[in-house]
Chains A and B, each alone.
Chain A
Amino acid sequence: MTIALIAAGFLIMAYSTFFGYQLKSRASGGLIGTRLTQLLAMIAVFALSYLVVGALTFGRPADSSMLILSVILLLGAVFVILVLNLVRDVLGTLE
Chain B
Amino acid sequence: MIYERLPRPDGLQLTREQLRVYMMCNGRRALEEVAALTRLPLGELQSALKDLQQLNLLAPAATPAAPAVPLPAQLQQQLMQEAQAALNALPDDALPSAEVQAPPAAELPPVPHTLPEISAHLRGVLTEHLGGRAAPYVAQISACRDLTELGALVPKMAAKIKLVIHEQAGSALKDAFAQCLAAHAAQEAARA
Contact surface of A with B, Cβ cutoff 8 Å: 26-34, 90-91, 94
Contact = CB atoms under 8 A, between A and B. Distances in A.
A31 B171 CA distance: 11
Interface residues of B, number: 9
Q: Is the interface of A mostly helix, strand, loop or mixed?
A: helix
Contacts of B165: 28-30
Contacts of B161: 30
Interface string B12-35: 000000000000000000000000
28 contacts: A26-B164, A27-B163, A27-B164, A28-B164, A28-B165, A29-B164, A29-B165, A29-B166, A29-B167, A30-B161, A30-B162, A30-B163, A30-B165, A30-B166, A30-B167, A30-B170, A31-B162, A31-B163, A31-B167, A32-B163, A32-B164, A33-B164, A34-B167, A90-B163, A91-B164, A94-B160, A94-B163, A94-B164
A11 to B, nearest CB: 29
A33 B164 CA distance: 6
Contacts of A91: 164
